[in-house]
């Protein structure tokens, strides 16, 4: 949609020194090419977002891992396209599932901003990043100067604020990620969908600008007489494929909710 971001390559098999993506076969308008399942580490690994409950995908990940041991399964958030296969994958590899939302944990401890995960000498630092969903987390991999962003930042286009998310939280999260990426010298964003992004500050600036622009457009649409979310979508998202208008309407509701609380 925005065309602001510079992809490194297509999602399947993209990697940094210690992170590698295995793309799940669930492409759609909302999931782009599919869900990115990230394997982090060398001999010991953590797996981030097993993806949907798709046996062939989960088995492919297991085969790919070979002799490497999975110590933990982490979820960037509880949406089905990331978490649906977690229980089955946990059975296959004998590892606990950790997530912010207790509903999605299995056998292990919780997971929250400030936690540090250690795997085979690597560190993964957890950031609480609510907004897309209430339970969204990002994971910073210092060894690769890479941030795993789940659905908070996608490899292409923009993120939708889901019904369990919140735009005010999301705007704060984008500012936090922007400041964090700058402070830590982030070189790569590894998203939950779509290709990796090689210029984190540029990508985050684009996201922040896009949100401000949409809010301005919604204010203007209201000022010109549009009242219902649908009427606003017809004006503000006129250039967006009609098949995506249900998502746009979700986004408009989140934005109206935000504006009405200011």
Q: Which residues in this chain contact Zn ion in the complex, by CB under 5 A?
A: 81, 151
Supply the minimum distance, in Å, between the C-beta of residue 193 and Zn ion.
Answer: 6
Supply the minimum distance, in Å, between the C-beta of residue 192 and Zn ion.
Answer: 5
Supply the minimum distance, in Å, between the C-beta of residue 102 and Zn ion.
Answer: 20
Supply the minimum distance, in Å, between the C-beta of residue 103 and Zn ion.
Answer: 17
Task: Report the alpha-carbon distance of residue 91 to residue 249 in Å, rounded.
Answer: 38
Supply the minimum distance, in Å, between the C-beta of residue 168 and Zn ion.
Answer: 21
Nearer to Zn ion, 54 or 81 (CB): 81
Own/partner contacts of 85-91, CB < 8 Å, gap of 24 or more, are 85/24, 85/50, 85/51, 85/52, 85/53, 85/54, 85/57, 85/58, 86/50, 87/53, 88/50, 88/53, 88/55, 88/58, 89/47, 89/50, 89/58, 89/61, 89/62
Q: How far is CA 28 from CA 193, 221, 260, in A?
A: 10, 29, 32
Nearer to Zn ion, 119 or 151 (CB): 151
Supply the minimum distance, in Å, between the C-beta of residue 82 and Zn ion.
Answer: 5
Nearer to Zn ion, 22 or 226 (CB): 22
Task: Report the alpha-carbon distance of residue 251 to residue 255 in Å, rounded.
Answer: 6
Phi/psi for 47 (5° steps) reads -115, 125
Nearer to Zn ion, 115 or 151 (CB): 151
Determine contact, residues 153/197, Cβ cutoff 8 Å: yes
Nearer to Zn ion, 151 or 199 (CB): 151
Q: Hey, what are 233's tokens?
A: 């979508």
Starting at the edge strand that comes first in sequence, how are the strands of the sheet with 36-41 ordered?
A: 19-23, 36-41, 44-48, 69-74, 97-98
Nearer to Zn ion, 45 or 154 (CB): 154
For the chain, state the CA radius of gyration: 18
């Amino acid at each position: 949609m925005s065309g602001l971001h510079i992809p490194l390559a297509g999602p399947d098999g993209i990697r940094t020194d210690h992170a590698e993506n295995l793309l799940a076969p669930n492409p759609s308008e909302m999931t782009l090419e599919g869900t990115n399942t990230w394997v982090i580490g060398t001999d010991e690994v953590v797996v981030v977002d097993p993806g949907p409950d798709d046996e062939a995908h989960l088995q492919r990940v297991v085969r790919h891992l070979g002799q490497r041991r999975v110590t933990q399964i982490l979820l960037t958030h509880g949406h089905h396209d990331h978490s649906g296969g977690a229980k089955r994958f946990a059975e296959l590899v004998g590892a606990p599932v950790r997530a912010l939302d207790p509903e999605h944990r299995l056998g292990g401890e919780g997971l929250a901003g400030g936690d540090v995960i250690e795997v085979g000498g690597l560190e993964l630092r957890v950031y609480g990043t609510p907004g897309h969903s209430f339970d969204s987390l990002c994971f910073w991999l210092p060894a690769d100067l890479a941030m795993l962003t789940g659905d908070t930042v996608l490899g292409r286009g923009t993120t939708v604020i889901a019904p369990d998310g919140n735009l005010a939280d999301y705007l704060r999260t984008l500012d936090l990620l922007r400041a964090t990426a700058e402070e830590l010298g982030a070189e790569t964003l590894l998203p939950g969908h779509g290709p990796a992004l090689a210029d984190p500050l540029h990508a985050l600036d684009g996201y922040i600008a896009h949100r401000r622009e949409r809010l301005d457009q919604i204010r203007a649409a209201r000022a010109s007489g549009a009242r219902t979310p649908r009427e606003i979508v017809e004006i503000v998202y006129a250039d967006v494929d009609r098949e995506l208008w249900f998502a746009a309407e979700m986004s408009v509701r989140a934005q109206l909710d935000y504006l009405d609380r200011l």
